Amino acid sequence: MNCSTENRARLDAVTAIERSLASGFLTQYTPGDLGAHHVEVSTMRLDGDRQPPSQSSFFEPYMGTLPQPDPEEEYPPFDENGGVFCTPIAWAQDIYQYLRAYLMDIAGQENPNDHIQLMQPGNFDYNLWEHDYHFNWRATSASKVPDGPWLKCMILNDIQGSDKITRGELLCICQIMIKGLGTYENHVMAPVLLLSFMGPRHGRVLLAHHDGNKLVIYRTELFDFQSRNVSAFKILARWWCSGGVGNTVTRKPNIVQKALKQ
C-alpha cells in the first residue's frame, strides 16, 4: 500500500471513529467503553521527578531551562462557592489564561519560539466546539510543529475531571487528526498533542495517533491547579513547546517507551 493510499485509509478510519463518537450521548468514557469505537487509551507516566520523559512516541518535550512564571501574574483564588463563575469550564479557563500568559513570557525570552505559537483554532479551519444542553466544550488555542504533520491544541471542558476521557477530548483529537491527514497527504500519521482543562481546576496532557488499526491515546494523570501549581504549569509548558519526532511517513510503528504505558 503506497503512502497516499494508506493516508486515505487512515483518514477514513479516523473519520469513522469521529462520527461514531459524535452520534453518542456519553460525556465521559472509560477505556472499556472505547473498544467498540476502535480507540485504545493508556496512561502516560512521568518520570519520578514529575518531569516529562525524555522521549515520547511523536512529541519530544522541550527540556531546556524554563523561566519561573511571573509572580506578579494574577491567579484567581479557588472558591467552590463563588456563584455563577464556579462552573467547570470557568475553572478550566483560569488554568488556560495563566498558562497562556506564561507561554507568552517564555516566547519573549527567546526560548523555543517556533513551537510556542498560540493561534485561534479558526485559523486552521477547525470547528472545535459543542455548546448545548448536553455537551459544552471548546478549543482555545491551536499550534503546529513547523514543516510537519504534528498538531497541538488546548481545550476547555465543562465537566469535572476524572480518569475517564471526555467527549470533547475525543472529538477534538479526531477532528484535528482528520484535518492533519487531509493536509499532509504524503504522511500516514498526523499526531496530536492536547492540553485539556476541566473542573475543578484540573488538567492533563494527551498524545494521540492512529496506528493503522485503532486510535491510540496516551494520557497523563490529572494535575491539580486549585492553587498556583508552578511545577505542573512547567510540565504543560514543556509539552506545548515540544518538537515533533518519529516516523510519520511509513507504516513502520514508532516504539513507545514502556514507561509511557500502564
Residues 204-231: pLDDT tens digits? 999 999 999 999 999 999 999 999 999 9
What is the predicted pLDDT for the residue at 117?
Answer: 63
Residue 1 has pLDDT above 80, yes or no: no
Instruction: Tell me, yes or no, whether 81 lies in a domain.
Output: yes
Q: What is the tally of structural domains in the chain?
A: 1
pLDDT tier at 48 (50, 70, 90 boundaries)? low
- Taking alpha carbons only, the member of 18, 146, 188 closest to residue 180 is 188
- Highest mean pLDDT range out of 48-52, 61-65, 132-136? 61-65
Instruction: Tell me, yes or no, whether 260 lies in a domain.
Output: no
Instruction: Tell me, yes or no, whether 261 lies in a domain.
Output: no
Q: Say which residue the cell 482543562 belongs to.
A: 197
Would strands 215-219 and 39-43 be described as parallel, antiparallel, or unpaired?
A: parallel
Where are the alpha helices (H) located in the chain, listed in sequence order?
3-22, 88-108, 167-183, 230-240
Instruction: Tell me, yes or no, whether 124 lies in a domain.
Output: yes
Rounded mean pLDDT, 22-39: 94
Instruction: Tell me, yes or no, whether 32 lies in a domain.
Output: yes
What is the predicted pLDDT for the residue at 38?
Answer: 97
Rounded Cα distance between 75 and 189, Å, is 38
Which tens digits make up the pLDDT trace of 99-152? 999 998 888 775 555 556 666 666 666 678 888 767 899 999 888 888 889 999
Residue 148 DSSP symbol: S
Length of the chain: 262
Torsion angle of C-alpha atoms 98, 70, 142, 90, degrees rounded to 10: 0
The amino acid sitting at 251 is R
pLDDT tier at 183 (50, 70, 90 boundaries)? very high
Residue 52 has pLDDT above 70, yes or no: no
Q: Say which residue the cell 520523559 belongs to.
A: 53
What is the predicted pLDDT for the residue at 255?
Answer: 39
- Structural domain that includes position 204: 3-244
Contacts from 12-19 at CB under 8 Å and sequence distance 24+? 13/38, 13/210, 14/174, 14/177, 14/178, 14/181, 14/210, 14/215, 15/174, 15/178, 17/174, 17/215, 18/171, 18/174, 18/175, 18/178
Rounded Cα distance between 105 and 82, Å, is 30
Would strands 59-60 and 39-43 be described as parallel, antiparallel, or unpaired?
A: unpaired
Which tens digits make up the pLDDT trace of 226-247? 999 999 999 999 999 988 999 9
Instruction: Tell me, yes or no, whether 253 lies in a domain.
Output: no
Kindly report which listed range (80-84, 160-164, 175-179, 185-189) carries the lowest average pLDDT score: 80-84
What is the predicted pLDDT for the residue at 46?
Answer: 80
Q: State whether the Cα torsion 23-17-240-77 is positive or negative.
A: positive
Would strands 192-199 and 165-166 be described as parallel, antiparallel, or unpaired?
A: unpaired
Instruction: Tell me, yes or no, whether 259 lies in a domain.
Output: no
Rounded Cα distance between 228 and 78, Å, is 10
What is the predicted pLDDT for the residue at 145?
Answer: 86
Query: Residue 53 corresponds to which cell in the numbers above?
Result: 520523559
